[in-house]
């Protein structure tokens, strides 16, 4: 019953040339790749081109030249801003890394009391707006209106301001405590998954607890620490809100605050703004490249498997110190700022003291009651627009993320590699840089001054976050699950609908809420791309802070914070505890 055993030699050349290239896979991945490429690359190319255009003195004409770059590195103001940016980023990276690593270690590896209750609080700053944090700390610790300074004065009679956050140190402090969770998230996962026998074997050689921690544990998670530190450095370099609120009004400009003044306002110069964005972008992209190429691939080698339950380190009496340290962090990063903002928001005028007899909800009416004629448009518009943008943006970005992930992991076409690359690029460029690119690209098109340009900026910058969420699940889910559905008779689309997407559901929800949160608090893209009528929540806060007063600003900040905190609770319900850890 056997047949042709001796196979005749078949002469078929390997598939080559343009004909064989036109497979369904290649065509579809290329089309999606092109759309993503246009969205990602065009703004960056426009940025490069515009940075070499020099505005003449009258401000009418441009010519090619390097003058913009000369201005940056030689002009007094911008050079100082560059140096300030470097100082802030470095300082914040150090502070956030120290905080993040120590807190992660306490939570993952020691018997610190109540650590399970503290863990979610350690992560809250990750979800909140650093800009709002800066506003809160301004009201807590600026020389004149700082609540802490005034309390110190009345309690201990200290006459000089005890704290002063209106300088570079203040910016480092606030960014440091707000970005510490980024490091925390990278490190805590690695620490939890670490094979405990690595530590145990060090202990058996006679190394003490501290020695083991510093010579074994921390070196093993160094890649994770470095990854976290780089992300913090890059995020800080692109941070606009904190220096804008705390230091810029007092003469400490940064590149981001300078980019902002060049993007909007009276002495706007998009070309110079583009050049400054280039400087920031080149540096951040370089660091992200290092993180992706060199550090991230190594971080997996430190862990030898899942499911270990490492023996916790008994800190003895010191555990209460660890506990106090963690509580201190939660206080300065979450509790104090929110309480302070809340009290400020209840005053008509803020003088640095709580005046119990004058508390009122009047500010909330001004910023929330959009139907009320006396409400402030920038604030009420901001709320409505931000919810529209967050809802629409998160939904569209997740659709893009699903398609891109699917292309990367389930089709092996040539476009898959390009897509993989394209979805890393936006991570390398801070929002304000990308926004500057989007601005110079689309300023002469009809989408400028509409919500669409904001939507475009948001999605382009942030879809990779959703994509990573989906990709990590898609890699864990065997392709055979899809294939068996095809074999059962289901078409590609039915398989997508009934098998692939249901399996990705937790990742889709988690990614969606994460993007919703990011979009709800987004400032640095919005501040460049908004115009009258398309303010967002954070732009509203900015507007109130600039043109109204601190109490009103605080009221809107509290409103934003409450919305974000609700999202945090939902996120934890949907995504589970480990969802964010790298």
Partner 1 sequence: MSENNYLQVDHLVKYFGDDRAVDGISFGIPEGKFLTLLGPSGCGKTTTLMCIAGLHKPDAGEIRIGADPVTSIENRINTAPEKRNIGMVFQSYAIWPHMDVSQNVAYPLEIRNMAQSEIDDRVAEALEIVGLTDMADKNATQLSGGQQQRAALARAMVFRPRLLLFDEPLSNLDLKLREQMRVELKRIQHEIGITSIYVTHDQAEALVMSDEIIVMSKGHIEQTGGPHSIYARPVNKFVSDFIGVANLTEGRIVSNGGGGSGTIEISQGGESVQLPCLLADGLAEGDDAFLSVRPENVDASRQPKDGPRIEGEVIQSVFLGNCLDCRVKWGEFEWKVLAHSRERLRVGEKVYVRLDPDHTLAVRP
Q: What is the rounded CA–CA span in Å between residue 239 and residue 433?
A: 10
- DSSP 3-state of 240: coil
Q: What is the rounded CA–CA span in Å between residue 385 and residue 395?
A: 15
Comparing CB distances to partner 1, the nearer of 10 and 155 is 10
Phi-psi region of 536 (alpha: psi -120 to 50; beta: other; left: phi over 0): beta
Comparing CB distances to partner 1, the nearer of 25 and 195 is 25
The single residue among 201, 311, 491, 531 that binds partner 1, judged by CB under 8 A, is 491
Q: What is the rounded CA–CA span in Å between residue 548 and residue 533?
A: 18
Question: Which window, 45-53, 115-123, 177-185, 501-509, contacts partner 1 (CB under 8 A)?
Answer: 501-509
Closest distance to partner 1 from the beta carbon of 18 (Å): 16
Alpha carbon 253 to chain centroid distance? 22
The single residue among 35, 481, 566, 569 that binds partner 1, judged by CB under 8 A, is 481
Burial class (CB in 10 A: 0-12, 13-18, 19+), 184: buried
Q: What is the rounded CA–CA span in Å between residue 367 and residue 405?
A: 40
Comparing CB distances to partner 1, the nearer of 23 and 164 is 23
- DSSP 3-state of 98: helix
- Is there binding between residue 317 and partner 1 (CB under 8 A)? no
Dihedral over alpha carbons 17, 18, 21, 27 (to 10 degrees): 170
- Is there binding between residue 311 and partner 1 (CB under 8 A)? no
- Is there binding between residue 498 and partner 1 (CB under 8 A)? yes
Closest distance to partner 1 from the beta carbon of 468 (Å): 22
The single residue among 58, 476, 487, 532 that binds partner 1, judged by CB under 8 A, is 487
Question: Which window, 294-302, 318-326, 341-349, 481-489, contacts partner 1 (CB under 8 A)?
Answer: 481-489
Closest distance to partner 1 from the beta carbon of 44 (Å): 32
Q: What is the rounded CA–CA span in Å between residue 284 and residue 277?
A: 10
Question: Which window, 78-86, 214-222, 489-497, 518-526, contacts partner 1 (CB under 8 A)?
Answer: 489-497
Number of H helices, E strands in the chain: 30, 2
Size of residue set near partner 1 by CB under 8 A: 30
**Residues of span 158-177 touching partner 1 by CB under 8 A:** none
Q: What is the rounded CA–CA span in Å between residue 524 and residue 435?
A: 8
**Residues of span 2-31 touching partner 1 by CB under 8 A:** 2-5, 7-10, 12, 14-15
The single residue among 208, 297, 502, 576 that binds partner 1, judged by CB under 8 A, is 502
Whose CA is closest to 257, among 270, 271, 276, 232? Answer: 276
Alpha carbon 366 to chain centroid distance? 30
The single residue among 70, 79, 211, 486 that binds partner 1, judged by CB under 8 A, is 486
Question: Which window, 131-139, 153-161, 307-315, 496-504, contacts partner 1 (CB under 8 A)?
Answer: 496-504
- Is there binding between residue 485 and partner 1 (CB under 8 A)? yes
Q: Are 479 and 561 in contact (CB under 8 A)?
A: no
Q: What is the rounded CA–CA span in Å between residue 516 and residue 385?
A: 13
Closest distance to partner 1 from the beta carbon of 506 (Å): 10
Comparing CB distances to partner 1, the nearer of 28 and 264 is 28
Q: What is the rounded CA–CA span in Å between residue 289 and residue 42?
A: 20
Whose CA is closest to 519, among 471, 579, 456? Answer: 456
- DSSP 3-state of 174: helix
Comparing CB distances to partner 1, the nearer of 155 and 487 is 487
Comparing CB distances to partner 1, the nearer of 201 and 484 is 484
Closest distance to partner 1 from the beta carbon of 316 (Å): 41
- Is there binding between residue 489 and partner 1 (CB under 8 A)? yes
13 secondary structure, DSSP code: P
The single residue among 98, 488, 566, 569 that binds partner 1, judged by CB under 8 A, is 488
Q: Which residues are at the interface with partner 1 (CB under 8 A)? A: 1-5, 7-10, 12, 14-15, 478, 480-481, 483-491, 494, 498-499, 502-503, 505
């Amino acid at each position: 019953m056997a047949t042709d055993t001796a196979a005749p030699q078949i002469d078929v050349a390997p598939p080559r040339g343009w004909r064989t290239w036109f497979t369904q896979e290649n065509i579809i991945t290329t089309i999606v790749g092109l759309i993503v490429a246009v969205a990602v690359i065009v703004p960056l190319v426009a940025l490069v081109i515009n940075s070499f255009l020099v505005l003449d003195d009258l401000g009418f004409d441009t010519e090619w030249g390097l003058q913009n770059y000369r201005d940056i590195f030689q002009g007094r103001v911008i050079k100082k801003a560059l140096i300030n940016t470097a100082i802030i980023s470095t300082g914040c990276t150090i502070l956030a890394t120290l905080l993040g690593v120590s807190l992660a270690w306490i939570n993952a590896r020691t018997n610190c009391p109540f650590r399970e209750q503290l863990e979610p609080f350690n992560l809250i700053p990750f979800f909140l707006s650093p800009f709002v944090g800066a506003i809160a700390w301004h009201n807590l610790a600026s020389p004149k209106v700082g609540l802490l300074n005034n309390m110190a004065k009345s309690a201990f009679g200290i006459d000089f301001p005890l704290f002063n956050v209106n300088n570079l140190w203040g910016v480092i402090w606030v960014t440091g405590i707000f970005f510490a969770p980024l490091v925390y998230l990278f490190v805590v996962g690695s620490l939890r998954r670490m094979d405990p026998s690595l530590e145990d074997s060090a202990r058996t050689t006679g190394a003490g607890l501290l020695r083991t921690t510093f010579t074994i544990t921390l070196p093993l998670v160094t890649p994770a620490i470095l990854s976290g530190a780089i992300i913090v450095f890059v995020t800080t370099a692109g941070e606009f809100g904190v220096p804008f609120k705390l230091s810029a009004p007092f003469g400490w400009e940064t590149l981001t605050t300078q980019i902002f003044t060049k993007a909007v306002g009276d002495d706007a110069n998009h070309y110079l703004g583009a050049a400054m964005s280039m400087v920031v972008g080149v540096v951040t992209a370089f660091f992200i490249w290092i993180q992706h190429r060199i550090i991230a691939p190594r971080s997996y080698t430190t862990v030898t498997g899942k499911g270990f339950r490492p023996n916790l380190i008994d800190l003895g009496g010191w555990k209460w110190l660890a506990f106090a340290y963690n509580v201190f962090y939660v206080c300065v990063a979450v509790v104090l700022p929110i309480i302070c903002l809340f009290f400020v928001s209840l005053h008509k005028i803020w003088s640095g003291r709580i005046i119990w007899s004058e508390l009122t909800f009047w500010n909330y009416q001004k910023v929330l009651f959009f139907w009320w004629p006396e409400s402030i448009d920038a604030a009420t518009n901001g709320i409505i627009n931000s919810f529209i943008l967050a809802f629409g943006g998160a939904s569209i970005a997740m659709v893009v993320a699903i398609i891109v992930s699917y292309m990367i992991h389930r089709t092996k076409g040539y476009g898959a590699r390009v897509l993989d690359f394209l979805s890393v690029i936006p991570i390398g460029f801070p929002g304000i840089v990308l926004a500057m690119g989007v601005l110079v690209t689309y300023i002469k098109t009809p989408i400028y001054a509409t919500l669409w340009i904001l939507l475009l900026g948001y999605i382009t910058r942030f879809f990779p976050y959703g994509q990573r969420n989906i990709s990590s699940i898609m890699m864990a889910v065997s392709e055979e699950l899809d294939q068996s559905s095809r074999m059962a008779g289901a078409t590609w689309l039915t398989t997508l609908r009934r098998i692939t997407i249901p399996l990705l559901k937790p990742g889709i929800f988690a990614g969606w809420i994460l993007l919703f949160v990011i979009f709800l608090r987004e400032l640095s893209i919005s501040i460049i791309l908004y115009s009258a009528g398309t303010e967002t929540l954070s732009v509203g806060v900015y507007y109130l802070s600039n043109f109204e007063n601190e109490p009103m600003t605080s009221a809107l900040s509290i409103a934003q914070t409450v919305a974000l905190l609700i999202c945090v609770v939902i996120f934890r319900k949907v995504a589970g505890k480990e969802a964010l850890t790298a």
